[in-house]
C-alpha cells in the first residue's frame, strides 16, 4: 500500500477515532504508560544506538540532552500520560444549544479535527506527548520525529501502536513516517490531511508553510520582547535574565528589550551588568550605546526583526508604552511579549494593544508553554491568527460540528413567512 493510500485509509477511519469513547481513549493512554515501562530496556537500548550515532557526528551538548531518553524522561512521559487521562474529554462538549423553532434544535458540539500531521524535533519524549494529545483529542496522527532519534522513535512508536490497538482504538489511527520524502508526500495530501503542525527551525517551518495547501499551525519566528517601564531593579533584573538565559534556544526566550527613555539611565547599567554576568552579549541602538557599552554595530529598524536564539539580546530606547507597542507590533512575531511596570494604566494599554498570542505583565516570557499553562502538554505554539494561538493543547486540537434535530421543517415556510424563527438558547 502506498503512503497516500495509507493516509486515505486513515482519513476514512478518522470518524471512528473521533467517536471513540473517553474510557477507551483513557484505557489506551494507560496501556501506553504500562507498555513503556514494560519495554523500557528495549527503548533505552534503541536510544543508546541513537546517542552513539550522534556522538559519532559530534553533535552539541544541547542536542544530546534533548535526544536522551532515560529513566527520568520515561517517568515524565508516564506522568504526562496519566495527567492527560485524568483530563475531561475535550470531544463531545456542547458549546451551544439553541431552539430555532418548535421541534427544531441546534447544538454545537466539539469534535476532533480529523487527520493531523505533526513534524517534531529529535526529542523522543515529544513522540509520546504528541501521540497522547492526539489520542485524547480523538485525532488520527501522522508522526515524524527528528532523524537523530530514529531508533528511539521506532521503538516508542511500536510500543504505542500496540498498546493503542489492544485498547480497541482503530489500528490505523497512528502512523509514523521517517524520512523527508515521505513528509513531502504528506504535504501534498490536502484531501486527506486536515492540519500540519511543524516544530523546528524557522527555515524548516517556513519551508512547510510555503509548500502545502493544508492549513499549517505553528510558528516560524519567536521574536519576544520585554518592555521595561520601571526602574525597579528587583523586578527587572531577574525576569530579563530568566527570559534570556533560562533556555536561550526556546521560541519564548526574549530577543529584544525596549527601555523607557526616562528610566534608561537608571536601569540599563545594572541590567546590562547582570546580563553580562550571565554570559549575555548586549547589542543596541545608538542611544543605548551612549548609556552602556554594547557589542557590535548600532541597531536600527529591520535589525530588530531577528531571533537570536542564543545568549544575545538587542536593546532599544523608546519614548513610552505606545512606542514600545508600535515596535512590538511592527518587528515582533506575535508570540509572547511582556511589560514590566508599576503603572497600571501602562499595563492596561499594553494588554489592550499588543497583538500577540501571549501578553504578560511582570513575569518571564518563558512561561508561554502548554505545561505551564496547565494544559498537561502542548503539541506546539501557534503564532497564527486563526483557530488556536499560543500553546496548543487538547482544546486547540478540536473544532466543532453543528448537529440539528428537526421534525420535518422545510426552509420554504420560513422564507415565505408561513413560519417564523423563535430563537431560544437552552
Of positions 24, 59, 329, 343, contacts a second copy by CB under 8 A: 329
Task: State the nearest-atom distance from the C-beta of 40 to a second copy, in Å.
Answer: 24
- In eight-state DSSP terms, residue 419 is S
Question: Interacting stretch for a second copy, rule CB under 8 A, among 11-19, 52-60, 285-293, 308-316?
Answer: 11-19
Cell, residue 36: 513503556
Taking CB under 8 A as the rule, does residue 331 contact a second copy?
no
Q: How far is residue 338's CA from residue 416's CA, in Å, rounded to a whole number?
A: 55
Q: Which of residues 102-161 bind a second copy (CB under 8 A)?
A: 104, 106, 113-114
Question: Interacting stretch for a second copy, rule CB under 8 A, among 128-136, 145-153, 267-275, 397-405?
Answer: 397-405
Phi, psi of 174 (to 5 degrees): -130, 145
Question: Interacting stretch for a second copy, rule CB under 8 A, among 32-40, 159-167, 211-219, 265-273?
Answer: 211-219
Nearer to a second copy, 2 or 407 (CB): 407
Q: How far is residue 65's CA from residue 228's CA, in Å, rounded to a whole number?
A: 33
- In eight-state DSSP terms, residue 147 is G
Q: How far is residue 86's CA from residue 279's CA, in Å, rounded to a whole number?
A: 42
Of positions 65, 345, 412, 420, contacts a second copy by CB under 8 A: 412
Taking CB under 8 A as the rule, does residue 337 contact a second copy?
no
Taking CB under 8 A as the rule, does residue 319 contact a second copy?
no
Task: State the nearest-atom distance from the C-beta of 229 to a second copy, in Å.
Answer: 14
Taking CB under 8 A as the rule, does residue 234 contact a second copy?
yes
Q: Which of residues 357-396 bind a second copy (CB under 8 A)?
A: 357-364, 366-368, 372-374, 384-390
Taking the CA of residue 323 as centre, how many other CA atoms within 13 Å lie in the half-sphere pointing to its CB? Answer: 12
Taking CB under 8 A as the rule, does residue 318 contact a second copy?
no
CA angle at 294 for the pair 291 and 297, rounded to the nearest 5°: 115
Q: How far is residue 62's CA from residue 280's CA, in Å, rounded to a whole number?
A: 17
Cell, residue 298: 548600532
Of positions 246, 276, 303, 320, contacts a second copy by CB under 8 A: 246
Taking CB under 8 A as the rule, does residue 411 contact a second copy?
yes
Do 193 and 129 form a contact (C-beta atoms < 8 A)? Answer: no
Q: Which of residues 51-110 bind a second copy (CB under 8 A)?
A: 98, 100, 104, 106
Cell, residue 289: 550605546
# residues contacting a second copy (CB under 8 A)? 78
Spatial CB neighbours of 170, under 8 Å, sequence gap ≥ 6: 13, 16, 17, 20, 140
Q: How far is residue 230's CA from residue 220's CA, in Å, rounded to a whole number?
A: 31
Nearer to a second copy, 175 or 254 (CB): 254
Task: State the nearest-atom distance from the C-beta of 184 to a second copy, in Å.
Answer: 18
Task: State the nearest-atom distance from the C-beta of 171 to a second copy, in Å.
Answer: 18
The dihedral built from the CA positions of residue 224, 274, 262 and 228, taken in this order, carries a sign that is positive
Taking CB under 8 A as the rule, does residue 399 contact a second copy?
yes
Task: State the nearest-atom distance from the C-beta of 154 to a second copy, in Å.
Answer: 29
Amino acid at each position: 500500500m502506498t503512503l497516500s493510500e495509507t493516509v486515505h485509509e486513515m482519513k476514512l477511519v478518522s470518524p471512528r477515532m473521533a467517536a471513540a469513547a473517553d474510557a477507551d481513549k483513557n484505557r489506551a493512554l494507560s496501556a501506553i504508560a504500562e507498555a513503556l515501562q514494560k519495554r523500557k530496556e528495549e527503548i533505552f537500548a534503541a536510544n543508546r544506538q541513537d546517542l552513539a550515532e550522534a556522538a559519532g557526528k559530534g553533535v552539541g551538548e544541547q542536542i544530546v540532552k534533548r535526544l536522551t531518553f532515560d529513566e527520568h524522561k520515561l517517568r515524565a512521559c508516564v506522568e504526562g500520560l496519566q495527567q492527560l487521562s485524568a483530563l475531561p474529554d475535550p470531544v463531545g462538549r456542547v458549546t451551544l444549544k439553541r431552539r430555532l423553532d418548535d421541534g427544531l434544535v441546534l447544538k454545537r458540539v466539539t469534535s476532533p479535527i480529523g487527520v493531523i500531521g505533526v513534524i517534531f524535533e529529535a526529542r523522543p519524549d515529544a513522540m509520546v506527548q504528541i501521540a497522547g494529545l492526539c489520542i485524547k483529542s480523538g485525532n488520527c496522527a501522522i508522526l515524524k520525529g527528528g532523524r537523530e532519534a530514529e531508533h528511539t522513535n521506532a521503538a516508542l512508536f511500536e510500543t504505542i501502536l500496540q498498546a493503542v490497538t489492544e485498547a480497541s482504538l482503530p489500528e490505523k489511527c497512528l502512523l509514523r513516517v521517517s524520512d523527508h520524502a515521505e513528509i513531502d508526500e504528506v504535504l501534498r495530501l490536502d484531501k486527506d490531511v486536515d492540519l500540519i503542525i511543524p516544530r523546528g527551525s524557522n527555515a524548516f517551518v517556513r519551508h512547510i508553510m510555503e509548500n502545502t495547501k493544508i492549513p499549517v499551525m505553528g510558528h516560524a519566528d519567536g521574536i519576544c520582547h520585554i518592555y521595561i517601564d520601571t526602574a525597579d531593579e528587583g523586578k527587572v533584573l531577574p525576569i530579563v535574565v530568566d527570559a534570556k538565559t533560562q533556555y536561550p534556544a526556546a521560541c519564548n526566550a526574549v530577543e529584544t528589550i525596549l527601555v523607557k527613555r526616562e528610566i534608561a539611565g537608571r536601569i540599563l547599567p545594572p541590567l546590562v551588568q547582570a546580563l553580562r554576568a550571565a554570559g549575555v552579549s548586549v547589542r543596541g541602538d545608538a542611544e543605548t550605546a551612549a548609556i552602556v557599552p554594547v557589542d557590535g554595530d548600532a541597531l536600527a529598524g529591520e535589525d530588530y526583526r531577528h531571533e537570536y536564539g542564543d545568549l544575545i539580546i538587542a536593546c532599544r530606547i523608546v519614548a513610552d508604552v505606545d512606542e514600545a507597542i508600535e515596535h512590538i507590533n511592527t518587528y515582533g512575531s506575535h508570540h509572547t511579549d511582556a511589560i514590566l511596570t508599576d503603572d497600571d494604566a501602562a499595563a492596561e494599554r499594553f494588554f489592550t494593544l499588543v497583538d500577540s498570542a501571549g501578553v504578560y505583565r511582570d513575569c518571564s516570557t518563558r512561561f508561554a508553554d502548554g505545561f505551564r499553562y496547565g494544559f498537561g502538554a502542548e503539541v506546539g505554539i501557534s503564532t497564527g491568527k486563526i483557530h488556536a494561538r499560543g500553546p496548543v493543547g487538547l482544546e486547540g486540537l478540536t473544532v466543532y460540528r453543528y448537529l440539528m434535530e428537526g421534525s420535518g421543517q422545510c426552509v420554504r415556510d420560513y422564507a415565505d413567512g408561513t413560519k417564523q424563527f423563535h430563537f431560544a438558547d437552552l
